[in-house]
Structure 1
């Protein structure tokens, strides 16, 4: 699959619909560079996460270090998934509202199973992402920043040297 075919699928979603996708990085325009496996890198966070399109199969994959998961089986399915995600992303409460968010998540998962059953698999991107959001480990960055401002700075005891205003004697 060449850059023109990939861009023809991505351009109608670029950049606003793609920016709603739950991944860090910048969605790129052609010409696309290839990763070591010969796949087109279409989104890159500049560090260790990126999205690729398999040039032979058309599959869209999320790559994070050595792990890969399927976002969409092909670019047509990606467009449908992006539309479904975008509609719930705008209307859904955050995961902190567990009951309502759970309903929205289930609705998206049902849509995904119809759009692209392979992408709805248990170890694929969407399943892993929604599981992470609904786990107790999820932290809203905005809430974390508020908490950090409220916490007083405490001495950790890591530095036992006396400060400049303290005196000590050598025996």
Structure 2
């Protein structure tokens, strides 16, 4: 798949709709560099995460180090998924409100099954991402671990007060 075909699909989404996507990094414009497997790099976080399109199959993948998961089975379904995700991203506050987010997540999962059943698979990007969002590891705790530990006075940080007679005005 040539850069011109990729860009024809992505340009209407660039940059705002793509920036709503739950991936770190910068969404790129053509000419697209190829990764070692010959896939066009669409988004690069500058470190170890990428979004690529397979130039032969047209599938869009999330690559994180040695792990890969399917975002969309075709570039065309990727565009539809971006649009669906964008409306959800604007309509919910996020995982802090578990009940609302759970409804929105289920709605998106149903849309995804219609838009791209393969991308809705259990070990693919969207399933893994929504699972991570609803896990206990993601939810912010009001109490940090440091607050649970009692403070001990060692005297090491005690400093004498400033003698005001030495301060000039």
Q: TM-score, normalised by structure 2?
A: 0.84
**Structure 2 portions without partners, runs of 5+:** 159-169
Could you say if the C-alpha distance between residues 100 and 89 of structure 1 is closer, same or farther in structure 2, counting changes exceeding 3 Å?
same
- Retained in 1: the 8 A contact 2:95–2:139? no
Q: After superposition, where does 1:64-143 map in structure 2 within 5 Å? A: 64-139=64-139
- Alpha-carbon distance between aligned partners in 2 of 1:93 and 1:38, rounded to the nearest angstrom: 38
Aligned CA-pair RMSD: 2.7
The structural deviation recorded for 1:97 is: 1.1
For residue 99 of structure 1, report the CA deviation from its aligned partner: 1.2
2-structure distance, mates of 1:115, 1:83:
11
C-alpha distance in 1, partners of 2:26/2:151? Answer: 40
Aligned: 1:61 with 2:61: yes
**Secondary structure of the residue that 2:33 maps to in structure 1?**
coil
Q: In the TM superposition, what is the alpha-carbon distance from 1:163 to its structure 2 partner?
A: 6.0
The aligned length equals 157
Structure 2 counterpart SS, 1:22: coil
Aligned to 2:7: 7
Cα shift readout 1:41-73 (whole Å, capped 9, x = no counterpart): 010000000100000000000000100000001
Q: Which runs of 4+ in 1 moved over 3 A?
A: 162-165
- Structure 1 residue 31 corresponds to structure 2 residue 57: no
Residue 42 in structure 1 maps to residue 7 in structure 2: no
What SS class does the counterpart of residue 70 from structure 1 fall into? strand
**Alignment of structure 1 residues 159-170 onto 2, 5 Å:** none
Larger radius of gyration: 2
2-side partners of 1:155 and 1:20: how far apart? Answer: 42
Cα deviation for residue 100 of structure 1 reads: 1.3
